[in-house]
Structure 1
Amino acid sequence: MLHKSPFPPLPPIPDMNAFQMMYGRADQADWDHALFVEDKTGKKRMFKDAPKHIELGRTALGAPVSLGGLQLGTDEIVAILANNSINYYDLSMSLLSLTIPFALISSYSTRRELVHGLKLTKATRLFVDAKLLKNVLSAIEDPEVSLTADKIYILAGTAPKGRKSFSGMIEGVVRRKTPVVGVVPATKDTLAYLVMSSGTSGLPKAVMISHGNIIGSAFQPIVAAPILEPYAPKPPGEHIVTIGVLPMFHSYGLHVYILRATIAPVTFILMESWNGDRFLKAIVKYKPTHLTLVPSLIHQLTVHPNLKSTDLSSVRAIASGAAYLPPALNDKLSRQLKKGASLTQGYGLSEATLSALAYIPPGTFGLNGTVTTSQGMLVPGLEGRLVLPDGKDATGDEVGELWLRGPTVCLGYWNNPTANASTFVDGWLRTGDQFTVDKDGFFFFADRGKDTLKVSGVQVSPKEIEDVLFSHPDKLISDVSVAGVSGGRTEDEKVPRAWVALSPAGRKLGSEKTVQALLSWHQEQLSRYKWLRGGIEVVKTIPKTPTGKTLRRTLVEEYERKQKARAKL
């Protein structure tokens, strides 16, 4: 059965640079607010000043070398490895307006992960925060990374002697009075950026998002707003303030704080990275009206000793995304909010640019509103199907894999035809996630059908962890399986656990020392959120089907049975 969004359709997606719909609109003529404030530095950027800064950044990046610019070409890929800052905004918007694709790399990347990201994206340049430079210089020593040291620049922080910085480049073109470089035309299929996603399985893949995808994503809240506002009206005279704590290299943070930042007048208080103490202090200091969070951060707030003593009266709405929010956790934080404040969740994924399902308030479409166990309704412009394993559409209360179609579905995976063939089928995006849908069009998350886990709102691939364990230089294991088990920050969140069969070298070393060696090794190779918080268990053999497929479910069920037995004792 085909499910359509109940909202009006999106306008036709124009062939234009996405940057051109972000500034210069008639509705922005009287906007006079701070667009960004950096919590750590106090640095402020007024909305009216932002276009000039982007113009200078664009000129610094695009002008000829003879005039002090970098003279970047549209055949280049510029990687960004940095924490949240105004500089991050200026750089990404400058690149977007030049139609130079940028690759978003996690600032938490280990050397191994950074090597993979640079090899995958084939980045020709890289901007990095000064404090993260050491990791980059180590990564480019890998012979398979083509990026050279002279193509690495500093985005935030003090640049070491002899290394260029983004701010220094801008100062240079100002000093030279370099002619301004204009916005470069684009079509709706022009590549805008690459963002990392585990997709359906395996190592992170680079999702290709186009200028048309960005425009379509921006149209979604614009189309929805007139329908929703009568049922969730904004208080008279309210100016929206939110704390930007989600990383800008993640789709959620990228769109909320950068690509959708100028849809309505909003002030973003930028936090360099998550810190619970600073976050609560920022709520008191800046009195935000809205918060953007993920379930793992909501959990950390609910257990923070200072939450109950923090004045949350300014907060009118909290939006949770990136992972499933269990109702119990929703209720726990909701009880700390003022009467009438809302905590809602939606569903989205990088392959759909951002949103796919969204909350609707009571009264919309004559319905009672989204219940806390639902991820909401299809956002404007999207169609959906729930597909059974045999390829037929689910009916009634049947659980099926959510397939999506619409102008925000990405161009595909960068240089990965195999993954493209399995994920994008006849114009549909296979999300890999299992849902049910009721008669009113509300979707309910059932399970993650694919092997990937969601930890702290970020995809984690068991296969990637398995590959790291196998790659231990002493070859300590002959077989391994990684799967999610209970023990996460929420009831729903699973944490990675490994079952390993020892090799002759592992048996010689002994089980205990092998486990310690593997724990140390994988923590060196992987970001913290990918660590085996569920532990490592040594087994004689990994159970498999007659065709050789690992029976992860068997391992998980046995582990959970033992955990329940211990709890009873």
Structure 2
Amino acid sequence: MTHDISKPHWSRWIAPNAPDPHKTKYKPHNNTIFSSPYGPFPPSPSDLNIHELCFPPNNPLPPDYPLFINAVTEETVTLHKFYARACALARVFRHDGPNPLRLGKSPVNDQEDGEILGMYSRNHLHYPMVAHACFRAELVFGGISPASTPYELWWVLRKMQITSLMCHETLLPVLREALKMGSGEGDKASSLRLVLDPNKVIVLSDDSSLNTVSGHRTVEALVRKGSTLPEVPRKLLGGDKMAYLFQSSGTSGLPKAMMITHRNGMSSGLQGMITGTQNARFAGVEPLTPQRVLGVIPMYHSYGMILWILRVNLMQLTNVLLPRWDLELALKSIEKYKLTALPLVPPLVRQLAQSPLTEKYDLSSVILAGSGAAYLPQDVAYQLGKKLPTSGGAPIPSGYGLSEAASIAAPAFPGIFGLEPALPSTIGYLLPGMEARVVDPDSLRDVKKGERGELWVRGDVVTPGYFKDAKATAELFAQPGWLRTGDLVMRDDQDRIHYLDRLKEMIKVKGLQVAATEVEDTLLDHPEGLVRDACVAGVDNGRRDGSLFVRAWVVLTTESEKQGEEAIARKLDEWIQSRLSRHKWLTGGMEVVDAIPRTPSGKMLRREMRDRYHAHVKGRNKL
């Protein structure tokens, strides 16, 4: 019997040549290229569309269940309702259908121009439905951060070449301000011009009865329109065609737009299905049993895309959505809906771990919690693990990926394939379908096991490049097919990957490299628990010799604040000097701050702290 990825059974996620979780023993090796213990992806048609992976056209829908629930209003969308609405909206979006919005055909890659729909909204009950309508209509879309300022929105609209836009009603004022900035003529930072047609703006409203908002048609009005249109049977195309665009984080300059193909998106969704199935087989339980998930990760982000859009109907998931992060609402939702899975980012892990509110709610239903999108300090991972009754005190695992390759590595289920445990200091093993190398970033030569180098990866999750930015794409791929992650890692004797730091965040002190995360972890690891959060960066030493000073900014715990900043600074300085080599000492000083700035996904904005410090020093020197 041939493998069929569309059959409605968990076995479709197991490739014919996949390793057996009990019998196959992964053997670490010294070859420069190493791969995932989970093996390859299952075979799939070369032109498969993301929507048809999630909803195979020849399969009946499973019995209905709540798919998305708004934690605030309790409004619910069931699986069957989701599918019917996505089909209706897709009929409206098709460029070759009745086409009331006058949408054009979308480009298949960045060598073409065409229709690209911007998705500019906070988390919303119907955001995933709009995304699936786009897949079904073969309409390329681009996710845009709802936290964008007018200037940032104007920039991203141009970088993504957005021609039409879905905008949440609360963000219309930001859009109006962005449009006032003009086409971008004369902007030396980018040659791309604003091509958004204001007549193609549609509004995502919280009031489903409205047909228009501020003169723009609503998503609900278009769904109602689509429900009256006939369905035209057609073969959807996908594969290596562009499916959507991601906005890069913007932590090092203005954001870029990266292309994600249908194959990229499907592969990111499949990795969780493969690991979940294999882990269950190893544990001797039924694979992919129904789960109830806390929904707070931003939907425009690569992490959120996997959770809320790429896995719809691949297994039974009831997702309880928080429109925005609210600690007590999250805890109430866990208790009320008996949530089983908590996908989180480091700032949320820290809040759950350290807030006294956590003790007031029943968290016994949670069987899985994990972190992604940014580095998770070990102490915080352990703190939350101790608060979850079912974790046995084990630390919260943290996955690793990039916007350019959404999911690369994660801790493996203990013992599967004979693997050694993924220690808290590691990001684990490569995920299904991935290959990697560790390379000296200067010589571009592979390094030996145990040596530091830049992580290079390849696999079907890797972006084909940045949209209409050949120069940035060329910098991303040093060799054909190999993505330079920009992260400094070490591969150990078991082929586990140890994350060390961002290469750009390495601090050079008298020719020696200092990993900011190592110093931050040491500060957080003080035996008295003096520090709640920490940021370390290299600052100008004033000598113009290319060397830097190591400086720290710390957020104190409530208890340590009582001791006074001077006493705390002395204790932390002594602690650093007792644990780390001299070139890693805080020669640039230490400053107590109220908070460390981060992106919504949890990435620390070290550059912002460094720039603030340099601006302060410059201003002081002028006096």
User: Could you tell me the TM-score, scaled by structure 1's length?
Assistant: 0.78
Displacement of 1:434 in angstroms is 0.8
Tell me, yes or no, if structure 1 residue 378 matches structure 2 residue 417.
no
Question: What is the CA deviation profile of residues 401-432 of structure 1, one whole-angstrom value per residue up to 9, with x for unaligned ones?
Answer: 00001111111000111111111122100000
Displacement of 1:31 in angstroms is 3.7
RMSD: 3.3
Displacement of 1:451 in angstroms is 5.0
Tell me, yes or no, if structure 1 residue 405 matches structure 2 residue 458.
yes
Alignment of 1:236-275 (within 5 A): 239-275=290-326
Displacement of 1:199 in angstroms is 7.9
Displacement of 1:244 in angstroms is 0.7
Partner of 2:475: 422
- CA spacing shift, 1:157–1:221, aligned 2, 3 Å: closer
2:257 to 182, 201, 206: 206
Tell me, yes or no, if structure 1 residue 445 matches structure 2 residue 499.
yes
Q: Distance in 2 between matches of 1:162 and 1:140?
A: 16
Displacement of 1:57 in angstroms is 0.9
1:16 to 42, 48, 66: 48
2:554 to 487, 502, 509: 487
Alignment of 1:460-479 (within 5 A): none
Partner of 2:570: none
2:397 to 323, 337, 344: 344
Q: Could you tell me whether the CA contact under 8 Å between 2:280 and 2:286 is conserved in 1?
A: no
Q: Distance in 1 between matches of 2:115 and 2:382?
A: 47
2:151 to 112, 116, 139: 112
Partner of 1:356: 408
Partner of 1:561: none
1:76 to 100, 107, 115: 115
Q: Distance in 2 between matches of 1:539 and 1:275?
A: 34
Alignment of 1:58-207 (within 5 A): 58-62=90-94, 68=100, 70-74=102-106, 75-143=114-182, 144=184, 145-158=194-207, 159-174=212-227, 177-182=228-233, 185-198=236-249, 201-207=252-258
The SS at the match of 1:299 is: helix
The SS at the match of 1:308 is: helix
Q: Could you tell me whether the CA contact under 8 Å between 2:346 and 2:376 is conserved in 1?
A: yes
Q: Could you tell me whether the CA contact under 8 Å between 1:81 and 1:126 is conserved in 2?
A: yes
Give the counterpart letter for 2:407 in structure 1.
Answer: S
- CA spacing shift, 1:238–1:191, aligned 2, 3 Å: closer
Displacement of 1:93 in angstroms is 0.7
Displacement of 1:107 in angstroms is 0.4
Q: Could you tell me whether the CA contact under 8 Å between 1:76 and 1:123 is conserved in 2?
A: yes
Q: Distance in 2 between matches of 1:50 and 1:212?
A: 23
Q: Distance in 2 between matches of 1:237 and 1:206?
A: 33
Q: Distance in 1 between matches of 2:501 and 2:179?
A: 39
Q: Distance in 2 between matches of 1:368 and 1:188?
A: 36
1:5 to 33, 36, 53: 36
Tell me, yes or no, if structure 1 residue 284 matches structure 2 residue 315.
no
Q: Distance in 2 between matches of 1:427 and 1:241?
A: 37
Q: Distance in 2 between matches of 1:401 and 1:272?
A: 37
Give the counterpart letter for 1:137 in structure 2.
Answer: R
Q: Could you tell me whether the CA contact under 8 Å between 2:349 and 2:380 is conserved in 1?
A: yes
The SS at the match of 2:475 is: helix
Q: Distance in 1 between matches of 2:139 and 2:428?
A: 35
Q: Could you tell me whether the CA contact under 8 Å between 2:375 and 2:603 is conserved in 1?
A: no
Q: Distance in 2 between matches of 1:273 and 1:103?
A: 21
Q: Distance in 1 between matches of 2:354 and 2:466?
A: 38
Q: Could you tell me whether the CA contact under 8 Å between 2:124 and 2:323 is conserved in 1?
A: yes
The SS at the match of 2:77 is: strand
Partner of 1:547: none
Q: Distance in 1 between matches of 2:455 and 2:224?
A: 49
Tell me, yes or no, if structure 1 residue 307 matches structure 2 residue 374.
no
Displacement of 1:132 in angstroms is 0.7
| Count of residue pairs brought into register by the alignment | 482
Q: Could you tell me whether the CA contact under 8 Å between 2:105 and 2:115 is conserved in 1?
A: yes
Question: What is the CA deviation profile of residues 503-535 of structure 1, one whole-angstrom value per residue up to 9, with x for unaligned ones?
Answer: xxxxxxxxxxxxxxxxxxx99xxx998694674
Partner of 2:18: none
Q: Could you tell me whether the CA contact under 8 Å between 2:457 and 2:482 is conserved in 1?
A: yes
- CA spacing shift, 1:6–1:269, aligned 2, 3 Å: same
Q: Distance in 2 between matches of 1:10 and 1:161?
A: 47
Alignment of 1:38-53 (within 5 A): 38-53=70-85
Structure 1 portions without partners, runs of 5+: 463-480, 491-521, 543-569
Partner of 1:549: none
Q: Could you tell me whether the CA contact under 8 Å between 1:97 and 1:183 is conserved in 2?
A: no
Partner of 2:574: none
User: Could you tell me the TM-score, scaled by structure 2's length?
Assistant: 0.71
Q: Distance in 1 between matches of 2:292 and 2:551?
A: 37
The SS at the match of 2:325 is: coil
Question: What is the CA deviation profile of residues 523-555 of structure 1, one whole-angstrom value per residue up to 9, with x for unaligned ones?
Answer: 9xxx9986946744446779xxxxxxxxxxxxx
